[in-house]
């Protein structure tokens, strides 16, 4: 009866105050619990991150435990080419730092012109060789009557022409000039029409045949430069 009396003595205003206080206490407990959980979460994450995975050690390999006493060496940076202090082995070639390059080949000196200067004055002659004609290079074959000869000079260049007749075969004349021009250091060539050509550094000569009533008529033509 006494307890019932105490309960009945509470006024409506007091009941409202008691209800509000109860709600505030419960809300405060919930907020405190949430703050405690948020503060412990980073520590748990840090603990998980700091814990190494199973079977691995710091500075070692994940494939398994290392042998006690074995030193772990990290690979160095790659190198390009042989090092100066490298030791030669079979199949390798390491030039010493003091190696000198191969000596240069000597310069090739061109052959001197077959007809040096000064060149003769331009002229022509019938039945013989004109004055200044280069007989050593373009003289007529033996027993070949000269029909005409000429030289035409301009500056350091001279053009020479010889027309002669030979009673023998064309092969004999051809072999004669092939032998002569090769002995002078000229190089052989052949044109599309069959004309025989020999040339050097400063000169070129040709041999061609033409029609003739008696024997074989041949023509020599040469160009000579003094430099």
Cβ atoms < 10 Å from Cβ of 125:
14
The residue segments making up the domain with residue 25 are: 2-38
Q: What is the reported pLDDT for 30?
A: 73
Domain membership flag for residue 151: yes
- Asked if residue 108 has pLDDT above 70, the reply is yes
**Separation of alpha carbons 129 and 134, rounded Å:** 9
Q: What is the reported pLDDT for 89?
A: 61
pTM metric for this prediction: 0.53
Domain membership flag for residue 13: yes
Strand-strand pairing, 203-210 and 187-190: unpaired
Q: Are 202 and 226 in contact (CB under 8 A)?
A: yes
| Whole-number average pLDDT of the chain | 76
Q: Report which of 115, 93, 98, 76 is spatially closest to residue 224, judged by C-alpha positions.
A: 115
Domain membership flag for residue 83: no
Q: What is the reported pLDDT for 193?
A: 81
Tokens representing 177?
């000039």
pLDDT over 90 percentage in the chain:
43
pLDDT digits (tens, 9 = 90+) for 17-66: 677 667 666 766 675 666 655 555 445 444 444 455 554 444 444 444 55
What is the arithmetic mean of pLDDT over 116-135?
A: 96
Place of tokens 């029609």: 211
Who wins on pLDDT, 126 or 76? 126
**CATH code, 157:** 3.30.310
| Total structural domains within the chain | 2
Domain membership flag for residue 67: no
pLDDT digits (tens, 9 = 90+) for 132-152: 999 999 999 988 999 999 999
Q: Are 133 and 149 in contact (CB under 8 A)?
A: yes
- Asked if residue 216 has pLDDT above 50, the reply is yes
Domain membership flag for residue 86: no
């Amino acid at each position: 009866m006494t307890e019932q009396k105490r309960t009945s003595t509470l006024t409506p205003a007091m009941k409202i105050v008691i209800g509000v206080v109860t709600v505030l206490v419960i809300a405060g407990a919930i907020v405190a619990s949430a703050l405690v959980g948020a503060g412990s979460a980073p520590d748990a994450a840090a603990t998980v991150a700091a814990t190494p995975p199973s079977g691995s050690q710091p500075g070692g390999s994940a494939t398994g435990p290392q042998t006690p006493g074995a030193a772990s060496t990290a690979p160095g940076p790659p190198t390009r080419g042989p090092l100066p202090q490298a030791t030669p082995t079979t199949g390798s070639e390491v030039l010493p730092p003091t190696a000198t390059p191969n000596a240069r080949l000597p310069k090739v000196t061109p052959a001197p012109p077959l007809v040096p200067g000064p060149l003769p004055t331009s002229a022509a002659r019938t039945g013989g060789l004109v004055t200044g004609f280069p007989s050593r290079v373009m003289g007529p074959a033996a027993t070949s009557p000269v029909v005409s000869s000429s030289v035409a000079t301009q500056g350091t260049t001279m053009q020479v022409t010889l027309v002669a007749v030979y009673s023998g075969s064309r092969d004999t004349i051809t072999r004669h000039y092939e032998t002569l021009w090769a002995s002078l250091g000229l190089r052989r060539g052949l044109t599309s029409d069959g004309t025989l050509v020999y040339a050097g550094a400063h000169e070129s000569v040709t041999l061609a045949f033409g029609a003739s009533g008696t024997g074989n008529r041949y023509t020599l033509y040469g160009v000579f430069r003094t430099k």
